[in-house]
Amino acid sequence: MNLWKRILPVLVLALALPAVSSALDLPRIVSADWLEKNGSDPAIRIVDIRKPEEYKAGHVPNAINLFYGSWAVKRNNLDNQLPEDEDLADLVKSAGIDKATAVVVVGKVDTTTDQVNATRVAWTLRYAGVAQVGVLDGGFNKWSADKKPESTDAGKVEAAKGKMSPNRQFLASKADVTAKLGKVILVDTRLPEFFFGIAKIPIVAREGRIPQSVNLPSAWIFTKEGAFKSREDLEAMAAGVVGKDKTAEIITFCDTGRLCAGGWYVLSEVLGYQNVKLYDGSTQEWAADANAPMVKYSWK
Amino acid sequence: MKKRPSDDPALCGQCHEEIAGNFKKSLHYTTAGLKHGVSPRFSPEEAKTFAGKVFPTACNSCHASCGDCHLKSPVISGVSAGLLQRHRFVKRDEGKTCALCHGGRVYPEFTGEYGGTPDVHYQKGMACLDCHSKSESHGDGTAQASRQERKERPSCVKCHPPGKETTEKAKSAHAMHGAKLSCSACHSSGPYRNCYNCHLGKGAEARPGFILGRNPRDPKMVTTLRVIPTVRDTFASAGIRMEKYDALPNYWGTVPHNIKKRTERTRSCDSCHEEKELFLRKEVLLPGGSKANEGLIAVPKSLK
């Protein structure tokens, strides 16, 4: 009986803990109003990915600063790559984030690149094993424009302990794309001129796209103010390009793996497509291989 | 209207007497480092020509004034980013001040904008003045020929003292290499900007590179080296042939501001001991470069 009395409270607490962490249902597109209301919840970690100088000038209260360049690094001559697993685990844990932490990523939305940066960090966190990640809609620009409270105190957190296990199902390699050509829906998230092959950025060796890909530009998922378009619009755009089958296997790509995070985020996290990967090496890696097939001057 | 009113520190010195007095002798104001860095290459006659014709217009013209750091962004190539916080003076705003004068190499390497990994200290939210003291910017009242003469300089071991490592691997790696390698030799994350082929009035060409070799100022230490863009005819248009060009090498020790905890060199012994590509070797020395360059060659022994 005495033993039972001792065990019971521990048992109750053990059963209650997961319930506490799973009670929070983090929206994937987080509104400024929602974050203002819930931002002080200890189950939430707000990560500001703007430059330290911008963060110091004013940020969402309770946000910590881990700027974009920490999450996407240059590796093997490719831009915007995942850090090595052990570096990524250090980074995530230094932010006090573990698998159960609900993370809200806050960026800025001045340019398309800024807009997709938050989604790229969200993808990286999901890859790192974090279960719930949201993106502040309209970024800090909207937060500030809405006259929400700002802090200049540097957020400090205790590092998280425990092991992170990467979710490799979100990542596609060049070998994966090669093996699945024709068997998977490849989504080129660059603007149509890049998809058609009349434009390229200097770090990409050749114009054109990976064969049998379809075009859904990440720039088009945002309004001109840098907020996500409405769910109805996003759902219709996705259905028109990749279809309505949410179990379809999809791989998004762009030039360097940054833009395509926007497409990945909307398909996988917002609309619930269940099998969406991101090709991190993207066209920068693909086009550098002279033997890798590319298509241009056609829409099909 | 007076152009650059704080160019004469005496103006700010009316209230900030000590700082202004020190600043007048600081390297930011005198730019003496630029003169003394190249002067060993000159004959006495050439040194006079340099001091009279080249230094005042080409080197000292970009010295800092009080306002360049505390009121507005400095003018770079004729352009300034404007006031820092309207007409308010600010204590520090490194991203709009230091970042512009040191924006060719140091700052974009620090933030990762040069194309590599951002410095781990920037990732932690640190900026220039978190390592570089106020007295480095303002001077300490003594006239110095270069920053090497400064007593108070940033040092990795001030914050990361040997013996405080958290892993056995780091402990043994530091114990084994500490007296032979600079911190940056292993912890610089990758290529940094090197400038080549500088000509008076025309500028230099820049490209990324990563070079390990002996530190010219401390040859027993191997460190990261940065190319000095001064070539034999850099000052030819001013009539300076640099009679003693070979007195200095074409590389100086540098601490690239792209520090990372783990790099290829900390992960694998082979990256230095078997693959020698990162090291300065005879076959990669600059063509037509200084004879002093050969003294910087240091290739590690194979472990096999």
Distance CA A205, CA B124 (A): 34
The 10s digit of each residue's pLDDT in A157-207 is: 999 988 888 999 999 999 999 999 999 999 999 999 999 999 999 999 999
Q: Are B29 and B10 in contact (CB under 8 A)?
A: no
- Residue in the block written with tokens 């690149």: A113
CB contact under 8 A, A56 and B125: yes
CB contact under 8 A, A53 and B94: yes
pLDDT of residue A7: 52
Q: Which of A204, A202, A192 is nearest to A296 (CA)?
A: A192
pLDDT of residue B202: 86
CB contact under 8 A, B125 and A51: no
pLDDT of residue A18: 40
Both tokens assigned to A129:
């094993």
Distances in Å between the Cα of B235 and the Cα atoms of A294, B56, B291 are 50, 14, 19
Both tokens assigned to A260:
């395509």
Which residues in chain A come in under a pLDDT of 50? 1, 3, 10-22
For chain A, domain boundaries:
23-145, 168-288
Distance from CA of A86 to the nearest CA of B (A): 9
Q: Are A252 and A11 in contact (CB under 8 A)?
A: no
Q: Are B224 and B259 in contact (CB under 8 A)?
A: no
Q: Across the strands, what pairs with A104?
A: A46, A134
pLDDT of residue B115: 78
The 10s digit of each residue's pLDDT in B168-200 is: 999 999 999 989 999 999 999 999 999 999 988
Least confident of A52-66, B1-15, B282-296: B1-15
* A168-288 CATH: 3.40.250.10
CB contact under 8 A, B125 and A55: yes
Residue of A nearest to B262 (CA): A87
The 10s digit of each residue's pLDDT in B200-221 is: 888 899 999 999 999 999 999 9
CB contact under 8 A, B117 and A79: no
- Residue in the block written with tokens 């907020």: A227
Burial status of residue B201 (CB atoms within 10 A of its CB: 0-12, 13-18, 19 or more): exposed
Q: Report, in angstroms and rounded to the nearest whole number, the Rg of chain A calculated over CA atoms.
A: 20
Count, residues in chain A: 300
Nearest Cβ partner for B95 among A51, A70, A73: A51
Residues of A within 8 A of B111 (CB-CB) are: 51, 69
Residue of A nearest to B124 (CA): A66
A176 vs B: CB within 8 A: no
Residue of B nearest to A88 (CA): B262
pLDDT of residue A215: 98
Q: What are phi and psi of A46, to 5 degrees?
A: -95, 120
pLDDT of residue A12: 45
Residue of B nearest to A74 (CA): B116
What residues contact residue B151 under an 8 Å CB cut-off, 6+ apart?
B140
**Are A23-145 and A168-288 in the same CATH fold?**
yes
Q: Are A123 and A262 in contact (CB under 8 A)?
A: no
Nearest Cβ partner for A67 among B96, B123, B262: B123
Distance CA B191, CA A7 (A): 58
Kindly tell me if the per-residue pLDDT of B162 is higher than 80.
yes
A193 vs B: CB within 8 A: no
Pick the CATH number of A23-145 from 3.40.250.10, 3.40.47.10, 3.30.70.1560, 3.30.450.20: 3.40.250.10
> What mean pLDDT do residues B82-101 have?
87
